[in-house]
Structure 1
């Protein structure tokens, strides 16, 4: 068997892997490669073993920290179109710049690139 125990897989996943493995072997793929490909396919389609306990992996501390900082950033929401004093024009998305340019009625905005929008908005201020 390829690496690891297959105890965490459901009966359905195990049957599926067997069928996939058999079809690869019928096509002339060596047994070991066919088995590895079959389990890779099952993992790709279902995300691995589905029985209780999962992979045994938990989120790392850095992943938990990253998730917390993302949610903190989302908490600083403002109303659409409202200027954000904590952000420079260069750090805003092109869509945000387009919205500001539209509200200031800057002509030619639809064909402008991001930097051109920034320059036009600075000039309009």
Structure 2
């Protein structure tokens, strides 16, 4: 958790991490799930300095409930794939469609 985060977000992080561990996720994966979820909630509520467009405009993590998880019917959204491609500095991403982004990201 980032320094200066609220006690509420700390509790939320612990709860999500423990739930993921109970479901059989590895320690590293459980921490990643918890951190991503809490960071998205912080961004949606204006508690973080920066926020990606998909964090603010996408369906909230509480409402989504895994509908767009990596194992869901359609997988991550185009915007989520595009943001990941941008972070990995993949060339030509702006002209790629969803399938091409998935292939470029190795999915």
Question: Fold match, TM over 0.5?
Answer: no
TM range (shorter): 0.3 to 0.5
TM-score by length of 2: 0.40
- Structure with greater Cα Rg: 1
TM-score by length of 1: 0.34
